[in-house]
Structures are given as C-alpha cells and as structure tokens.
C-alpha cells in the first residue's frame, strides 16, 4: 500500500509540472464547438468540461456543440465544415483530430515496406494540409481556436488487440505540428498527448497490461476521458476553490469567506454555531467510473475544494448539519485543519450538482442521436451506390440504399456498429428539428437549475443534548 501511495504521488508530481494557462477560459455567451473523431463523437471529456463550468460558474452561461464523427479525419471534417460546424455559429472551437489520419495500414508490419513508409509521409502531409485548411476556415468566421494535441494510441501495453507499432509515433508528429498551427492562427493549445503518455508510462511500470486507453488501444474509457478533462481545465488555469468558509468559534468571527456569502444568524460560541451561507458554485460530482482517474490526477486537490474550517479551543466531536440534515461527524482537530465537502454526497449542494448532471445526461442522450444522424449523413450517404443523391425525404429509397451499403460490411468488425447507426438515423432523422430544439432547451435548463441557493448550517457537540431549532 505504501508503494502504491508513493507511486501515485510520483505520478501527481509529474502531472503538476505541466504548464498552465495555455488556453483562455470560456466566457458568458460563448458558442463552442468540439471538433473531432470518434473520441469526441462518443466520448465524455467535453461533457465533463461543460459540467465543470456549469457547477463552478453559474453566472457564465454558454453553449457547446459536439461536432465529432466516428472514423473522421481532418479531410472529412473539412467536407462537413459548413453544415455541421459553421452552422452552429461558433466563436470558439476546439479541434482534436489525428487518430484516423494516421492510417492503420501503414503500421501493420514490424518491418515497414517502402509503400508503408511512403504512406506514413503521405498521411502526415495530408493531415497538415487539411488541418491548416480547417483552421483557416474557422479563422475566416472569426472563431478563436483551441488546438488539442491528440490522445494517444497505446502501442506499449501488453494487450490482445493487434498492435500498430509506429502509429503513436505518427500521432506525436501530428502533436508537434499543432505547435506550428497554433502560432500561425494565434490559437492556444491543450496537450492531451503528453499527459496521457506520462501516466501510461508510469502505470505500465507496475502492470504491463495497464492502460488509460481502451483495450482497442484507441478509445479511452471514462478514466481516460476524465484525465483529458483534467488536462483541459488545467490548461485553462481553473480555480481550486468551490468555496471556502473559515470561522473562529472562540471569538465569533468570520475569518474567511471565499466565493460565498456568510450571514450569522446567532452568536457563534464554542458549543454551537449557526449561520446561513450562499455559495457561488457547486461541487463537481464525480462518478464511480471516474474514481480510478482521481488516483492518477490531482483533480480534487486542484479543482474541487469546498472547504470548511472552524477553530475552537474546545476539543471533541461535532455534528455538521446543512438544512437540518446530518452531513457528518468531525473531530475538533479535523475541523481546525479543514474539511473538504466536495465529495460528500449528503450535502444539498452535491445533490443540486447531481440535478445539473441529470439534465446534462439528458442532453447527451439527445446529442447521441444527432451525432448518429451526422455520421450517416456525412460518411455513409455520401458513399451510396449507385449515387449519393438519394433525397432524405424519400425514406423508403434511403432505407433500402443504406441497408444495402451496410450489408457490404457484413463479417467485418464494424458491421454491427454501422448497422446500429443506420437504424438510429432512419428512426430519428424525421425528428431532427425537434431533437435540436430539445438540445437547446436542455442547455438553457442547465443554467437555470445550477443557480446558487442559501443553505443553513449548524455545528453542535455530539454529546450536547440541547437541540438547535431549524433556522
């Protein structure tokens, strides 16, 4: 256990050395598009980032749109730019592409053929050209760009999945090119590649089969996506505190109130404390799936501190209640050191954050349908045989053409996925306008239910039989 703790400390120490403030924070009224491939299409890193803003900055409403499509490349993104990206009228855009631009066939042999080597250079040339074109298109519509160095392909873990040795090195070349592109277009950079490489290398020293990427070597799960979210927030230099409350029970004085307003309802004493506090933010609610990531990045320490500190000369155990609900029992020493309530699910603040998350998850369910529509529209209908111009209002002809195309992939690993995407498209494309209206409604609702509320706090000795009436 001690070795594990030392290992985690080493990981965290390495991570905290990553440069901060590489990307400006999102502001009130922004319209942000997250552009990418499958890692953006079905991933959660951007949802985590949005949840952080919704809980931390309830006075800073903005909108964001998922513009990722599974299997896409920089070239493919340029083809859908006008109708799938510019249509959202973004003033900020993030771009993370590269996984599919590093062509898999170029890395299938340990000793690459001349054709493979040429393919690697050609894919690099195409990626750099198309990324430049994409950035130019965004600049033309006055969109500020945040370039994201791509997530890694895990070519070091001992996994059953075929290993495309060299693919991750190609992604590193792409990541290096991002530096040039950001300078050219006055953009900023968030680096997923480096932090994921660092963590992967360290955990594989302990377990050669460990990975923060999925077992397909490509798609991060919740753990990997949370690490990516952390890297993004760190690059934006997000604040550490949800709030901070510090009182002196002996003097009855408020020593500190950071990002909150405290109103004393009655005199503070060493025996009992009662006050009302309105915090300007909510704690970030993490999930069980993200728990492993919390051991690998110092998210709680750096970005999720909801501190309560109460000094008193009277030793003993105290019960903390918020809105007359018991939150926990703490020693006087713990209270003097400071309690972080951000992961206490019993607080009304945490419960409110979960309500925000519920609405966010409802929005994600709507977005999932919209992205399936986009995937089929931009990557399947364009390849229909004999021609791609089957009108979407001729659903019978479109269904027949799509089903025929899907069947060409029967026996391939991606057959079931394409089949499900085509089925989702056919079911929901007639409802597309309604789905977009739902998305907008849920975005608005997020910034309604996340607003600050006053809460009534009491702290009493656990052996004190005197009950304080609810405020």
Which residue ranges form the domains of the chain, and what is each CATH number? 2-235 (3.40.50.1110), 239-471 (no CATH)
The CB density around residue 416, as the number of other CB atoms within 10 Å, is: 12
C-alpha distances out from residue 104 to 207, 214, 331, 379, Å: 26, 17, 58, 18
Higher pLDDT, 392 or 113: 113
Cα 46 → chain centroid = 4
Tokens of 407: 């069947």
Q: Identify the CA nearest to 70 among candidates 99, 107, 105.
A: 99
Question: Residues with Cβ < 8 Å from 248, sequence gap 6 or more?
Answer: 255, 268, 310, 311, 312
pLDDT at 4 over 70: no
- Torsion sign, CA atoms 168, 174, 176, 182: negative
Question: Residues with Cβ < 8 Å from 116, sequence gap 6 or more?
Answer: 105, 106, 107, 108, 109
pLDDT 10s digits, 59-78: 999 999 999 999 999 999 99
* pLDDT, average across residues 167-177: 98
Identify the weakest region by mean pLDDT among 37-41, 265-269, 347-351.
265-269
pLDDT 10s digits, 398-444: 888 899 889 988 999 889 999 999 999 999 999 999 999 999 999 99
Determine the pLDDT at residue 3. Answer: 44
Identify the weakest region by mean pLDDT among 47-56, 114-123, 189-198, 313-322.
313-322
Determine the pLDDT at residue 383. Answer: 74
pLDDT 10s digits, 48-61: 999 999 999 999 99
């Amino acid at each position: 256990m001690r070795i594990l703790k030392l290992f985690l400390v080493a990981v965290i120490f390495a991570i905290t050395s990553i440069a901060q403030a590489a990307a400006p924070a999102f502001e009130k009224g922004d319209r942000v598009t997250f552009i990418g491939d499958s890692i953006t299409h079905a991933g959660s890193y951007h949802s985590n980032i949005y949840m952080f803003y919704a809980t931390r900055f309830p006075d800073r409403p903005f909108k964001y749109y998922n513009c990722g499509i599974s299997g896409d490349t920089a070239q493919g993104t340029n083809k859908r730019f006008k109708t799938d990206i510019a249509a959202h009228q973004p003033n900020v855009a993030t771009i993370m592409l590269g996984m599919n631009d590093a062509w898999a066939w170029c890395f299938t042999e340990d000793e690459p053929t001349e054709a493979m080597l040429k393919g690697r250079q050609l894919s690099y040339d195409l990626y750099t050209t198309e990324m430049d074109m994409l950035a130019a298109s965004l600049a033309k519509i006055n969109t500020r760009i945040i370039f994201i160095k791509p997530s890694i392909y895990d070519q070091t873990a001992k996994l059953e999945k075929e290993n495309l040795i060299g693919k991750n090195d190609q992604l590193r070349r792409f990541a290096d090119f991002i530096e040039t592109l950001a300078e050219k277009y006055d953009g900023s950079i968030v680096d997923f590649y480096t932090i994921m490489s660092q963590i992967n290398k360290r955990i594989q020293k302990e377990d050669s089969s460990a990975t923060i990427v999925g077992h397909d070597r490509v798609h991060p799960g919740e753990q990997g996506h949370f690490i990516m979210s952390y890297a993004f927030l760190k690059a934006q230099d997000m604040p550490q505190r949800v709030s901070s409350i510090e009182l002196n029970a002996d003097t009855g004085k408020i020593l500190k109130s950071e990002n909150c307003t405290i109103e004393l309802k009655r005199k503070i004493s060493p025996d009992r404390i009662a006050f009302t506090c309105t915090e300007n933010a909510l704690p970030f609610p993490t999930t069980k799936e993200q728990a492993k990531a919390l051991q690998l990045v110092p998210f709680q320490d750096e970005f999720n501190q909801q501190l309560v500190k109460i000094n008193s000369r009277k030793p003993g155990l105290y019960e903390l209640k918020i809105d007359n609900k018991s939150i926990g029992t703490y020693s006087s020493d713990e209270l003097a050191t400071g309690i972080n309530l951000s992961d206490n699910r019993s607080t009304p603040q945490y419960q409110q954050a979960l309500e925000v998350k519920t609405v966010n998850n409802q929005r994600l369910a709507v977005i999932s349908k919209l992205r399936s529509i986009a995937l089929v529209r931009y990557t399947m209908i364009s390849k229909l045989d004999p021609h791609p111009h089957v009108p979407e209002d001729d659903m019978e002809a479109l269904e027949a053409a799509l089903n025929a195309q899907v069947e060409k992939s029967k026996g391939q690993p991606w057959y079931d996925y394409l089949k499900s995407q085509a089925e989702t498209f056919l079911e929901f494309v007639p409802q597309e306008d309604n789905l977009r209206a739902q998305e907008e409604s849920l975005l608005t609702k997020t910034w309604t239910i996340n607003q600050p509320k006053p809460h009534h706090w009491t702290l009493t000795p656990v052996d004190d039989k005197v009950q304080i009436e609810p405020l």
